[in-house]
Amino acid sequence: MKNDSFIGIIRDAVYKLFLEKGINNVSTRDVTRKLNISRSHIYHYYSDWNSLKIDVLENLLDKDINEYMHVVGNENFATSVDEIIHYIDYLIPNKPSLQWIIYLELWPLSARENEYRNIMKRHLIRWMEIIENIIHRGMECGEFIVLDKSIAARQISSIIDGYSSMLILDYSVEKRSDFLTEIFDLSFRIVKVIP
């Protein structure tokens, strides 16, 4: 129990430093200064700095999905259309946030290093499974006509990612509202909503 608690303290400190400085600009020295501990404390729990970074980022990505699943578990959607609207609205940034910048920083790391690529792939697959399940439910109840739910899920996910990236770089409430309208329009063309 004590170990889990200290790991949580280390993760939280590293996450805050990532927000403050960016993923590639943080070192173990920054963490030891922030927590007022020696490096040996960190390396007691993590074999190296990279494994700590991976753990923090993986924890962040898992937390986002778990929070979404918790929120969705408390909702009672009347239709699959409502559920897709909620999904998209949830994933589109609703304010400027340094956490969203971490997502943008992860992409180039994922393109170059397998460990980052693997956590990003797992994360993306989990999000696509969520939207694919929503699409499947819409098909089963006769709301959607879709030839291939996996392709539809990839297309909607790509649209969300693209618009999110633009919004992260240049956020405004008006732009978010316009983007949501455009994303909904594109998404419901993909799943062909039955009137």
Q: Is residue 178 included in any domain, yes or no?
A: yes
What is residue 74's predicted lDDT score, i.e. its pLDDT?
87
* pLDDT (tens digit per residue) in 88-134: 999 999 998 888 899 889 999 999 999 999 999 999 999 999 999 99
What is residue 5's predicted lDDT score, i.e. its pLDDT?
86
Give backbone dihedrals phi and psi of 22, rounded to 5 degrees, phi first.
Answer: 100, 150
* pLDDT (tens digit per residue) in 141-183: 999 999 999 999 999 999 999 999 999 999 999 999 999 999 9
Two tokens, residue 118: 């693997």
pTM above 0.85, yes or no: yes
Out of 50-54, 71-75, 155-159, 186-190, least confident range: 71-75
What is residue 102's predicted lDDT score, i.e. its pLDDT?
92
What is residue 3's predicted lDDT score, i.e. its pLDDT?
59
Q: Is residue 172 included in any domain, yes or no?
A: yes
What is residue 1's predicted lDDT score, i.e. its pLDDT?
36
Q: Is residue 186 included in any domain, yes or no?
A: yes
Q: How many domains does the chain have?
A: 1
CB 31 within 8 A of CB 10: yes
DSSP-derived 3-state class of residue 193: strand
Q: If DSSP states are collapsed to H, E and C, what string results for 21-68?
A: HCHHHCCHHHHHHHHCCCHHHHHHHCCCHHHHHHHHHHHHHHHHHHHH
Q: Is residue 29 included in any domain, yes or no?
A: no
What is residue 158's predicted lDDT score, i.e. its pLDDT?
96
Interacting residues of 139 by C-beta distance below 8 A, sequence separation 6+: 145, 146, 149
What is residue 6's predicted lDDT score, i.e. its pLDDT?
86
| Residue 168 lies in domain | 77-190
Q: Is residue 64 included in any domain, yes or no?
A: no
Residue 87 is part of a domain; what is its CATH number?
Answer: 1.10.357.10
* pLDDT (tens digit per residue) in 10-58: 999 999 999 999 999 999 999 999 999 988 889 889 999 999 999 999 9
